[in-house]
Structure 1
């Protein structure tokens, strides 16, 4: 697990009014702020296209960035980003300066491997993902790019807990009171289909029963008529 380290250049921002910020955005920059254990907070102007390239990498908010400002380099972590509600384009971004001793809380994605050889999945099971990301408390220089969950030996109806995932030293989940579930290999839901020809056989049997019942009813109705026909003959005798 290696840090996802990349770089970005930024300028010092001298904007004072809303119109200044509007012009900055028109010129292709995104306003931002760099704060942390620096002498003062820096107002930044970041090139919009460079920022958008970083956003496409994925997991932007837990990515350590080497940012260059006024000839100096800082390792920073994105702390907040604002988007235009209509265009979904970035309009403001905040960074926090970090060092080896800085502790941060970040959300890290879970990557599942060896699905093709998982015994439970090969038996028809389904991977039920409970958490696609896990919140971790870790040193800024030990932020993992992803958490690897190996499914190679997982059986049907088996659960994968956070304890089964190897974390870097001094990296711990923010949830410490239980061994929470990351995913399960769930049993398949089976729907029983009628056997071929069973429907036709059932219909034939039903028709036969109905016909038999109908014949019985006709015989019951005929008997009184036969008795009426015999009655006069008996009376003559």
Structure 2
């Protein structure tokens, strides 16, 4: 079930404290610390440009990484904090937490929609509208799904598919408690416009009548 976890390449820092952290920044790196998992904390640094790229990609604090540090075993980590410069808003330090295989963590999992070729609603001209391209789940670190699969093969125009229609990994659950919508089949744009126009036109028995008074002089 587990998908490919992105690598985060780091180096172990020889020193700790403000002086070592400043030196790491001068070398184009961002200092950090790895803690948890029943092991001693390790001071690290990561390339500034690589970290900035990952931050701009989004979801950095909700992404599980495979941390690679020379001289240490690879370990799964999740970032718990990124300190930033108060003026430039650029990263200055990061805290990474080790995760055991049975650790529970919140992650955003992408949703793949299948069955569009056979969906009767789409065959009639309907359009698949993706409401949630990803869903936040609480999962175990050792059983993270690569994706969730939403089957729309039997959906008609106007039908929706909700989170309860998707099989979640054992032990996982959605963060949102209600049965929220993942996607739906919208009517063809032309039909939708026509329906809107029809709704704007009053029915014949709803057209107001004007009571005519007697002609002038009567």
TM-score, normalised to structure 1, is: 0.65
1:39 deviates by 3.2
C-alpha separation between the residues in 2 aligned to 1:151 and 1:86?
A: 48
Q: Aligned residue for 1:107?
A: 108
Write the distance in 2 (CA, Å) between the matches of 1:82 and 1:150.
Answer: 41
Q: Distance in 2 between matches of 1:109 and 1:188?
A: 26
Q: Deviation per CA, 1:181-225, whole angstroms, max 9, x where unpaired? A: 111112234335xxxxxxxxxxxxxxxxxxxxxxxxxxxxxxxxx
Q: Which SS does the other structure have where 1:33 is aligned? A: strand
- Contact (CA 8 Å) 1:59, 1:108: kept in 2 or not? no
Deviations 1:49-102 (A, max 9, x none): 554676688765323414326434322223344677998865443322111221
Provide the secondary structure at the position in 1 that maps to 2:25. Answer: helix
- Per the alignment, residue 207 of structure 2 pairs with none
| 1:121 aligned counterpart, secondary structure | helix
Matched residues in 1 for 2:111 and 2:81: separation?
Answer: 22
Measured at CA, do residues 152 and 55 of structure 1 come closer, stay the same or move farther in structure 2, by a change above 3 Å? farther
Question: Counterpart in 2 of 1:123?
Answer: 124
Q: Which residue of 1 aligns with 2:175?
A: 174
Which stretch of structure 1 is more off in the superposition, 90-99 or 59-68?
59-68
CA contact (8 A) 1:2 1:144 kept: yes
Aligned residues: 190
Q: CA deviation at 1:136?
A: 0.9
Q: Which runs of 5+ in 2 are unaligned?
A: 195-218
Quick one: distance in 1 between partners of 2:96 and 2:65? 10
Q: When you count helix as a share of all residues, which structure comes out higher?
A: 1
Specify the structure having the higher radius of gyration (Cα): 1
Q: Which residue of 2 aligns with 1:32?
A: 32
Give the equivalent residue in structure 2 for 1:142. 143
Q: 1:11 to 1:131 in 2, by over 3 A?
A: same
Q: Name the CA distance, whole Å, in 2 between partners of 1:87 and 1:118.
A: 50
Deviations 1:13-40 (A, max 9, x none): 33422x6534422312122221222333
Aligned to 2:209: none
Instruction: Give the distance between the partners of 2:83 and 2:115, measured in 1 at CA.
Output: 37
Q: Which stretch of structure 1 is more off in the superposition, 108-117 or 53-62?
A: 53-62
Write the distance in 2 (CA, Å) between the matches of 1:136 and 1:169: 12
Mapped contact 1:4–1:64 kept (Cα < 8 A): no
Deviations along 1:108-136, one digit per CA (max 9) or x if unpaired, are 22222343443222322232332222121
Hey, what's the Cα distance between the residues in 1 that align with 2:109 and 2:33?
24
Q: How does 1:182-221 map to 2 (within 5 A)?
A: 182-190=182-190, 191-192=193-194
Computed over aligned residues only, the root mean square deviation of the Cα atoms, in angstroms, reads: 3.2
The TM-score with structure 2 as length reference comes to 0.69
